[in-house]
Structure 1
Amino acid sequence: MRPIIGITSYVAPATWGVWHDLPTALIPHDYVAAVREAGGRAVILPPDEQDADVLGVLDGLLLTGGPDLEPGWYGAEPEPLTESHPERDAAEFLLTRRALEADLPVLGVCRGMQLLTVAAGGRLHQHLPDVLGHEAHRPAPGVYGRQDARFEPGSRIAGLMGADVAIHCYHHQGIADPGKLTVTGWAADGLPEAVEDPARRFVLGVQWHPEVVRDRRLFGALVAAAR
């Protein structure tokens, strides 16, 4: 059997056919395709804060991108440009913490990396242009910033990425303090782009969006760890 990879999802208004702006559990298909092409079986997980029992039938967990985390999770007050979805936060923090306790393989993408970081006691910058003085990480609405990252030699992410270090970013928040995680990748401006937990079987967070190119290096590593 293919390893079963749970993929966290949004609840957002969606329109199809004669139906307009219906609250819908959804996720960009690139995540599903990236897992499938890497040899996994994708299962979409709508937000559900009642329990984390679904982890009992999963072999791995993919924490996807999306809206900002509620700053109260890391002891801060919301800043003007922070937009959060509390119901998704509650569900995904529960899933994440239980997955880590069970040593389930976890890959966090963009928001998912931030979720892993805050779950490990870290903190976020709420609006990077205020901190960095530029908007290279989210250059325009719906436009990915493309740049080269650098990685810690000998780290898991360095081994996976090899010589091709181009990344596609779309985020306005970032890591201020990694908590108990280890930062193993950086953008040119020094912003953390990858975090890991070397003490666990597979816990990797990346600030960029590997699903848009269906990067088999990263998704393949998650699926391999879940076998």
Structure 2
Amino acid sequence: MIKSPVIGVTTYRERAMYGQWDNVAVLLPEAYVSSIRAVGGVPVLLPPEPGTGVELVERLDGLVLAGGADVSPDRYNAIKDVATGEARIDRDGFELELIQLAWERALPTLAICRGLQILNVARGGTLVQHLPDLLGHEQHDPVSGGFGSHGVRTQPGTLLAKAIGDGVESVPTHHHQAVDSLGVGLVASGWSEDGTIEAIEDPSQDFLLGVQWHPEVMDEHDLFRALVRASQGAR
């Protein structure tokens, strides 16, 4: 019997209100869980605990780096812009650790939104801290607490193109930061109409892909399906 691959998903530590409670919680939008389940994976939530990466990676078949807060500019030797949000030091440290371990083990990895950004930073790349200052518009993050949309074109022959084809007319977007200089070993494989890098990948790995949009809220689960397929028999 073929076992369903276990996919770890990073989470965030935030103060939250639910029911009668108002306290610090470890959170993840349910859409990540349902997307992984929809394509045959078993999702496991990973709290941001630096120092636990080795034991976790040994037990996983695949990894999703979820969206969330801005990466600390200290991680890419930049001065903090006034538009950059409060750093999540525990999450930055934990995910940088996970990325390195996953890379060493060739663990199939899908990095989403913030996930793409910290993947780039982990490889020595840098980020644009506030896209509207560069682009002159807010198309990538037009709605507080919601998603905008734009198209994405892909580079033929890349991992991204194999998963979603030549491009997508509309993807859900919610980010004010993006890749500036690419990290070592990474290539761009998707772009929005304004030239913003929307996907990066490592051609030396079987499956290491980052996308700037939010595939977990899309009706199609092509990227999660590609991850789960790559994760079959990973251990």
TM-score by length of 1: 0.97
Q: Does the 8 Å CA contact 2:154/2:189 hold for their aligned counterparts?
A: yes
Listed as ranges, the matches of 1:102-117 within 5 Å are 102-117=105-120
Aligned to 2:49: 48
Percentage of identical aligned residues: 44
- Please state if 1:190 is matched with 2:192: no
Inter-partner Cα distance in structure 2 for 1:120 and 1:88:
17
Q: Kindly provide the CA deviation profile for residues 120-155 of structure 1, in whole angstroms up to 9, marking residues without a partner as x.
A: 111000000011111000002023111111111111
Q: Does the 8 Å CA contact 1:33/1:214 hold for their aligned counterparts?
A: no
Inter-partner Cα distance in structure 2 for 1:154 and 1:88:
33
Q: Unpaired segments of 5 or more residues in structure 2?
A: none
Aligned to 1:203: 208
Q: How far 1:38 sits from its partner (Å)? A: 1.1
Q: Does the 8 Å CA contact 2:154/2:165 hold for their aligned counterparts?
A: no
Inter-partner Cα distance in structure 1 for 2:117 and 2:10:
14
Within the candidate set 149, 154, 160, 1:151 is matched to 154
Inter-partner Cα distance in structure 1 for 2:123 and 2:59:
24
Within the candidate set 82, 85, 91, 2:84 is matched to 82
Aligned to 1:10: 12
1:98 counterpart letter in structure 2: L
Inter-partner Cα distance in structure 1 for 2:100 and 2:80:
23
Q: How far 1:86 sits from its partner (Å)? A: 1.0
1:82 counterpart letter in structure 2: T
Tell me, what secondary structure is at the counterpart of 1:149?
strand
Counting matched residue pairs gives 226
Tell me, what secondary structure is at the counterpart of 1:6?
strand
Listed as ranges, the matches of 1:26-105 within 5 Å are 26-52=27-53, 53-83=55-85, 84-105=87-108
Inter-partner Cα distance in structure 2 for 1:30 and 1:111:
16
Tell me, what secondary structure is at the counterpart of 1:200?
coil
Inter-partner Cα distance in structure 2 for 1:114 and 1:215:
23
Q: Does the 8 Å CA contact 1:34/1:215 hold for their aligned counterparts?
A: no
CA RMSD of aligned residues (A): 1.1
Give the direction of change, closer, same or farther, for the CA distance of 1:218–1:125 in structure 2 (3 Å limit).
Answer: same
Q: How far 1:14 sits from its partner (Å)? A: 1.6
Aligned to 1:221: 226
Give the direction of change, closer, same or farther, for the CA distance of 1:168–1:189 in structure 2 (3 Å limit).
Answer: same
Inter-partner Cα distance in structure 2 for 1:127 and 1:109:
18
Inter-partner Cα distance in structure 1 for 2:42 and 2:30:
13
Q: Does the 8 Å CA contact 1:170/1:208 hold for their aligned counterparts?
A: yes
Tell me whether 150-159 or 62-71 shows the greater mean CA deviation: 150-159
TM-score by length of 2: 0.93
Give the direction of change, closer, same or farther, for the CA distance of 1:162–1:146 in structure 2 (3 Å limit).
Answer: same
Q: Does the 8 Å CA contact 2:156/2:166 hold for their aligned counterparts?
A: no
- Runs of 4+ off more than 2 Å: none
Inter-partner Cα distance in structure 2 for 1:143 and 1:67:
15
